[in-house]
Structure 1
């Protein structure tokens, strides 16, 4: 098996701001596996808040190169490499390689029905409330919008109210990106209830999950940074209502499907999210999206340019043809 790894820096259309960070590019790796005429590809952006950047991912893959090129399956990969972007890229390449060898779609190998378009959220980076309201109106076809907050109580409240006034018709979620503390949560939730917000994602810092013990929220709470891998899912029960699975966090579609199984066993809702990347990184997540009640796969909309072929956004939905990621025959 031949392993090739490339690094790319993808310019964003505009700077993207969340709590504690401003992004101007999405820096990624692309893994290609070739074996006996079959090919598999995977893309990953890593996890910025864990220091899982391009250099870290490249080093992790080089460490595992010998075992990968000797021939490895997805189960063995979970034992070989830690969760994170590097494993996600290799895992995705192994899925597509398997599909190419068999001449069948990846979704068939994953044991799900033929994928169908799903409603996706479109994300608004933190900005002046009036600018965010105008951007919300600009997503005329959106049926679901997610709002990034910064942890500034007053301006966050203004942001949410302005966006809801601009788009009274949409499902609305907010992502606090760890920007709040438990003593400030009631005030935030009161604003969200007033604005008819449907989901509050990651209000507290990772490591402060126990602060939510006994906390009753009238709005469903989703864990994102708090829920990285399969190991974290059990601890979500009683603290979160929904887990946000991202392939870069958990190390690939293989583990993501296991996390969805565990969440469903515990009665938790399942959401799929993304780090900003091209359609190549959205395609494996689109497989998982078929099992999710909330889908956030808008990453390519932030980029100046996407790959071809690409996923398709239409009427507030996203769909991914097998030509984007799957067998070549």
Structure 2
């Protein structure tokens, strides 16, 4: 690839209302939008960082400053993995490289990635932690949702009540829960039994990052997924024997390039694959939608929490997400 011009814009995404998980409440997020130009075409990527790894706006901006010269030399996507560490900054650059290359070749990103033409994907819609009654009403309000993800807080009795109330409100829906590191090994037997009783289909990251060994050999009647524990490709091997599935997020992995490698390695090891998202707009969901074509579970509802999204935007319909070529990566010659 020839020399490039790197532009980095800082934006602030505001949520329509506060969103609570275990140990954190989100009201807004500072993100970066990268544009790479070759003088004829351009490509874009959005990065939001990873709050629990200290990958915030300042960290991302420092990463751009450190790598700017080498980025503007026009590296390949594989070379970028050596130039920048995993995280939001590399995610933004990597996705911009994908879209730029697609525009240069006149083909969509999915074709560059060697995938079949994309299809709409069933996605989860997430309920932030609140009282059992409010969360149950939220589940009813998700009238079109076929799959619902429930944020828990580690308050075991309350969490069990939350799940029971949501199941009663939506007996038809696929349910998954996200512990966001809020539980201990001693909580697991009771938690898992209660989830199984309520026909919950997935338990995500119940224990703290760094406590993965506590899950070694643990048998549960529902799959357990690693999220915070699984950042990049080097973490995937350690998931075997501890998790049944890995949750890949482009902001963690450092972009679609690494994410595709992680998915392939997970499959090789017999692990399930999930794609998730941090706070992000449609520009962040569209590359993850490409990865989602390979996944067992898709959680790409980030824009539904925003006070305002981008235009054009991904479309949500009848419980699915669709990211058309006009949103990102369609092989369209986007002029500088």
How far apart, in 1, do the equivalents of 2:147 and 2:35 lie?
34
Superposition deviation, residue 36 in structure 1: 2.5
The correspondence for 1:69, drawn from 58, 67, 72, is: 72
> What secondary structure is seen at the aligned counterpart in 2 of 1:307?
coil
Measured against aligned partners, the alpha-carbon deviations of 1:143-178 in whole angstroms (never above 9, x if no partner) come to 000000000011111110010000010110000000
The correspondence for 1:290, drawn from 288, 293, 303, is: 293
Measured against aligned partners, the alpha-carbon deviations of 1:184-213 in whole angstroms (never above 9, x if no partner) come to 111111110111100000000011010011
The correspondence for 2:238, drawn from 235, 239, 251, is: 235
Unaligned 5+ segments in structure 2 are: none
Corresponding position: 1:153 with 2:156: yes
- Count the aligned residue pairs: 329
How far apart, in 1, do the equivalents of 2:29 and 2:132 lie?
25
The correspondence for 2:171, drawn from 168, 171, 180, is: 168
Superposition deviation, residue 276 in structure 1: 1.2
In the other structure, the counterpart of 1:50 is: 53
How far apart, in 2, do the equivalents of 1:268 and 1:75 lie?
24
TM-score (norm 2): 0.97
In the other structure, the counterpart of 1:128 is: 131
Alignment of 1:67-106 (within 5 A): 67-106=70-109
> What secondary structure is seen at the aligned counterpart in 2 of 1:172?
strand
Superposition deviation, residue 55 in structure 1: 1.1
Superposition deviation, residue 62 in structure 1: 1.1
Corresponding position: 1:254 with 2:257: yes
Runs of 4+ in 1 over 3 A off after TM superposition: none
In the other structure, the counterpart of 2:26 is: 23
How far apart, in 2, do the equivalents of 1:41 and 1:5 lie?
10
Unaligned 5+ segments in structure 1 are: none
The correspondence for 1:328, drawn from 319, 326, 332, is: 332
Measured against aligned partners, the alpha-carbon deviations of 1:69-91 in whole angstroms (never above 9, x if no partner) come to 12211111000000000000000
In the other structure, the counterpart of 1:315 is: 318
> What secondary structure is seen at the aligned counterpart in 2 of 1:258?
helix
How far apart, in 2, do the equivalents of 1:194 and 1:71 lie?
54
